């Protein structure tokens, strides 16, 4: 789940939250109108369903997400509809809900943006256009929205990916060993940006550990990067007994170099050092296996 906090006079940040995330997205609208969000009788049940979506079993969540996408499309064109569509989009990429579900979510966000186009933010396309562009570029869904801000958002992501291809990493792990990404050619490398406070990050880490143990003898390296202090990270890692390298990016230089706006965010580089796959949210083990397959690791 990726939530962007944005309001008048408040710095923009992307963080992983639980049920409080919907209130955060509501602030995008509420801060501009200087009033609390009030949900209509038709909107309130959708709001409550979104708050509990993460608690559902994985085999139930996909169907519920699709149902909510259809229900949001039936709402009148209001700021609240946009808020609900944005929150559903942020939740839909956490795990593997299936391409059909993601397409319905994209269709809902497309309709919301068509009904109420968003103004630019900080000199660039509004959050809604960036979120739809993220779904299109990284989740491979379709949209029939022909809007200049969406094209601009797609161009921004394309430019970010070009920078990521050449961006290097030189950081030390918890044992003091220095790792440099460009020196790992010949290996398949998965770079994962995460934090101890991030629920989706914590959920995917056991799968990363299992894949690391499975493939490390085939030249597979995981570099897990956190910007938290060692006294926060070390006890968490030692308690969970994760064995892959955990690096500290205390000043955020590397996350900025990789244009990481939300976590978890993972990148896979093949043995030639080429960026071949990435995820902008939590992945399941099967999804990670597919990403590694793009690097020839099976």
Q: Which of 161, 192, 214 is the last residue of a domain?
A: 161
Same domain? 146 vs 127: yes
Identify the helix (H) or strand (E) that includes residue 2: none
Q: What is residue 59's predicted lDDT score, i.e. its pLDDT?
A: 85
- Residue 122: pLDDT band with limits 50, 70, 90: confident
Same domain? 157 vs 176: no
Paired tokens of 86? 């944005």
The answer to whether 42 and 78 are in contact (CB under 8 A) is no
Q: What is the mean pLDDT of residues 35-43?
A: 91
The answer to whether residue 298 is domain-embedded is no
Cis peptide before 264 (omega within 30 of 0): yes
Which of the given ranges, 3-17, 19-33, 116-130, has the highest pLDDT on average?
116-130
The answer to whether residue 129 is domain-embedded is yes
Q: What is the mean pLDDT of residues 224-246?
A: 98
Please report, for the domain that includes residue 220, its CATH number: 3.40.30.10
Q: What is residue 106's predicted lDDT score, i.e. its pLDDT?
A: 98
The answer to whether 74 and 111 are in contact (CB under 8 A) is no
Provide the domain count of the chain: 2
- Residue 13: pLDDT band with limits 50, 70, 90: very low
Given a cut of 80, whether residue 22 has pLDDT beyond it is no
Q: What is the mean pLDDT of residues 224-243?
A: 98
Same domain? 30 vs 176: no
Round to whole Å and give the CA distance between 281 and 158: 18
Same domain? 118 vs 219: no
Q: Which of 161, 193, 208 is the last residue of a domain?
A: 161
Same domain? 25 vs 103: yes
Q: What is residue 58's predicted lDDT score, i.e. its pLDDT?
A: 84
The whole-model pTM stands at 0.87
Same domain? 176 vs 37: no
pLDDT tens column, 49-108: 999 999 999 889 999 999 999 999 999 999 999 999 999 999 999 999 999 999 999 999
The answer to whether residue 149 is domain-embedded is yes
The answer to whether residue 148 is domain-embedded is yes
Same domain? 29 vs 104: yes
The answer to whether residue 145 is domain-embedded is yes
Same domain? 128 vs 191: no
For the purposes of burial, counting CB atoms within 10 Å of the CB of 15, is it exposed (0-12), middle (13-18) or buried (19 or more)?
middle
The answer to whether 285 and 208 are in contact (CB under 8 A) is no
- Residue 180: pLDDT band with limits 50, 70, 90: very high
Domain holding 83, by residue range, is 3-161
Q: What is residue 35's predicted lDDT score, i.e. its pLDDT?
A: 65
Same domain? 129 vs 186: no
Same domain? 198 vs 263: yes
Round to whole Å and give the CA distance between 177 and 221: 14
Cis peptide before 126 (omega within 30 of 0): no
The answer to whether residue 202 is domain-embedded is yes
Given a cut of 70, whether residue 131 has pLDDT beyond it is yes
The answer to whether residue 136 is domain-embedded is yes
pLDDT tens column, 252-290: 999 999 999 999 999 999 999 999 999 999 999 999 999
Q: Which of 94, 128, 161 is the last residue of a domain?
A: 161
Same domain? 156 vs 230: no
Q: What is residue 234's predicted lDDT score, i.e. its pLDDT?
A: 98
Out of 11-15, 61-65, 115-119, pick the least confident: 11-15
The answer to whether residue 180 is domain-embedded is yes
Same domain? 70 vs 108: yes
């Amino acid at each position: 789940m990726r939530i962007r906090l944005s309001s008048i006079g408040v710095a923009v940040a992307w963080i992983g939250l639980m049920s409080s995330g919907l209130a955060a997205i509501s602030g995008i609208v509420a801060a501009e109108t200087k009033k609390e969000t009030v949900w209509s009788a038709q909107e309130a049940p959708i709001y409550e369903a979104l708050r509990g979506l993460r608690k559902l079993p994985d085999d139930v969540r996909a169907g519920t997400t699709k149902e909510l996408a259809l229900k949001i499309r039936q709402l009148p064109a209001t700021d609240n509809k946009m808020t609900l569509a944005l929150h559903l989009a942020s939740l839909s990429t956490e795990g593997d809900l299936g391409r059909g579900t993601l397409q319905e979510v994209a269709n809902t966000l497309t309709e919301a943006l068509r009904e109420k186009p968003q103004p630019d933010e900080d000199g660039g396309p509004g959050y809604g256009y960036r979120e739809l562009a993220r779904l299109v570029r990284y989740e491979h869904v379709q949209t029939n929205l022909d809007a200049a801000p969406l094209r601009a958002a797609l161009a921004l992501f394309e430019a970010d990916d070009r920078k990521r291809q050449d961006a290097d990493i030189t950081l030390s792990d918890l044992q003091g060993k220095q790792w440099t990404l460009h020196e790992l050619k010949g290996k398949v490398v998965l770079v994962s940006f995460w934090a101890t406070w991030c629920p989706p990050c914590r959920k995917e880490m056991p799968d990363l550990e299992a894949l690391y143990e499975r493939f490390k003898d085939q030249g597979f390296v995981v570099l897990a990067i956190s910007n938290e202090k060692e006294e926060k990270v070390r006890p968490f890692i030692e308690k969970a007994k994760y064995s892959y390298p955990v690096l500290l990016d205390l000043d955020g230089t590397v996350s900025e170099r990789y244009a990481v706006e939300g976590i978890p965010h993972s990148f896979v580089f093949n043995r030639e050092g080429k960026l071949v796959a990435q995820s902008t949210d939590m992945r399941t083990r099967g999804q990670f296996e597919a990403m590694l397959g793009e690097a020839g690791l099976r």
